[in-house]
Structure 1
Amino acid sequence: MANPQQRQKQKSGKAKLTRKTAQQRKKVPIKGSEIIAANWDKKFTLKQNYARLGLVATPNPLSGGSEKLNPPKKLDVEKEKSKLKANEAIIERDEAGNVVNIIYGKAPLEDMDIEPVEAKTEVVKQLEEQASKAVKATRVVSENEEKWLQALVDKHGDDYEAMFRDRKLNTMQNSAGQIKRKIKVWRENGKKQKMVAA
């Protein structure tokens, strides 16, 4: 007979962790781009899916190795030399396992010229098309912010350092650069509103 504590565990809504439930937990929904979610294959890993879709999983090739499901037992050294990237190397060993030679890859990434690559897959083309249609969000200046900026300009003109040091008006302690950007947006919005009114 189960004691009260064990009985409470049985009633608990928390699922028991088994191999089956652990596998179900791993299934993560893909958030973000609908195009990638539609073309995603859950049988493959992240890097394999990205390679299949024509995308790059890690922008920096120097961080992290590449996945090899079935690495070849014997490497053709001459072929592999041409494939070596920056900061990669092949270690040649003799029959006893002693290191005979180390063949290093090409120059570091900074010295390499990166050529623009055309979209190879349909997914990449769809993503580029989606990115080209993206609308830039315009910042709207509120009435209170407009009054505050007007007071700063009336008092200090275009002296942003003085605006930054003004303790009474600059209560939120915005930096000189932040104030300058806000005033620029405010002035641009004012010009647009005048054009619409005309």
Structure 2
Amino acid sequence: MANPRQRRKARSSSHTAVSHSRHAKRNLKKTTIRGPKALQDAWDKHLTVRQNYANLGLVVTLDPSAHGGVEKPLGLEAGGQASQQQASQQQAATSSSSMPCNAVANVPSGFGRIVRDAAGNVLGVEMNEDETEQPQPQEMDMEEELESRMDQKVRKQWATDFSRSTAAAKGVVNEGVIHQLEAIAATATGTTTLSLPLSGIGSRHVSAGEVKYLERLVKKYGDNIEKMAGDLKLNP
């Protein structure tokens, strides 16, 4: 049963339903790429922002653990998985009676090999019962201590090679755009650092807090950006 408010809307001549097509058209409006002409020409509207930045050799964010994950080269992974499956199938096919008897030495401890005759009948099972030395408690403590330390790969990820993606892994990078952007920045500021405002109007100025924050990093590391990125105290 309709309530009084709905009945008033039905009788009103000024009330009109919301036009969803109008909102859809507004959402489908092409976005305006604000930036140098070289960046606008190289921008692919069919790709995402992260994919475009990867193709241009730029970095979306300095956070190495990007939100949403990072795309991996699926072709290489699929080829590696296919080769592994083929290798496992070949190993399974060759595990027959034609295998020599000394192959038991290659079997891990606790596993065995089924011995068959020419007709495929099971003759027996050969077990590899070689005893392995159990690690001492002191050795286990040392291994846990080593595992608890920061891995070198993690340290390298925080210091170099930010936001790796499929294009960067395949080496498909448009370096021409990078040189053009560096040339634009060099003529205006004398450096290869290009600073653009988010609105596209005017230039971006560093705040007083950012100046103090950057002065500490420059005073300690100079122009070594990788060491700045690896310092989690001054650059949290």
Q: Normalised by the size of structure 2, how large is the TM-score?
A: 0.33
- Radius of gyration: which is bigger? 2
